[in-house]
Structure 1
């Protein structure tokens, strides 16, 4: 199953240059890398990234994360995937810019 991470351009650049990252500032503060499922990603964008341009969507295969991935209750009682180790560039299955049109983010249509 694919899960998704949203990065701002500097966060994405750090992952690319360093090969791994502890994540965005909120991830570092919380002690894990926050992810969303396909069904949760639009709400995550709206809640935490409203109107921001220059965002990158990363897809990561859960099977590749092993025991470092935990599903924990969060927003509205939903289970969210949390990674308890650094995210590695080798974990990224694919990535794409998130379009912003008329103040709304447009996610890829093939998210599963």
Structure 2
């Protein structure tokens, strides 16, 4: 199963330069890297990234992250994937631009 991380441009640049990251400031504060499933990603973008352009969507294989990935209850009682380890560039399967359109962020076709 694929899970997704929405990254701001500076976060993506840091990840590319360092090879791994503890995540965005909210990830560091919470002690884990926040991810979303395909079904959760749009609401995550609307809630936490509204009006922000220049975002990147990264896809990772949940199973490949092993025991460091925990599924925990969060928004609306849904279980969200949380990574209790650094996010490594090597674990990212693909990235796509996440442009801001008139009705919010435009997600790639493979997530529809």
- Shorter-chain TM-score above 0.5: yes
Rounded Cα–Cα distance in structure 2 between residues aligned with 1:101 and 1:23: 25
Rounded Cα–Cα distance in structure 2 between residues aligned with 1:85 and 1:98: 25
Rounded Cα–Cα distance in structure 2 between residues aligned with 1:44 and 1:9: 17
Comparing 99-108 with 11-20, greater Cα deviation is found at 99-108
Q: Is the 8 A contact 1:51 1:103 kept in 2?
A: no
Residue of structure 2 in register with 1:82 after alignment: 82
Which consecutive aligned stretches of 4+ in structure 1 deviate over 2 angstroms post-superposition? none
Q: How many pairs are equivalent?
A: 112
Structure 2, gaps ≥5 residues long: none
Rounded Cα–Cα distance in structure 2 between residues aligned with 1:11 and 1:59: 15
What TM-score, normalized by structure 1, do the two folds share? Answer: 0.97
Residue of structure 1 in register with 2:20 after alignment: 20
Q: How big is the shift at 1:100?
A: 1.0
Does residue 41 of the first structure (1) align with residue 64 of the second (2)? no
Q: How big is the shift at 1:103?
A: 5.4
SS of 2:5's equivalent in the other structure is strand
Residue of structure 1 in register with 2:8 after alignment: 8
SS of 1:110's equivalent in the other structure is helix
What TM-score, normalized by structure 2, do the two folds share? Answer: 0.97
Deviation readout 1:4-55 (Å, 9 max, x if unpaired):
0000000000100000000000000000000000000000000000010000
SS of 2:109's equivalent in the other structure is coil
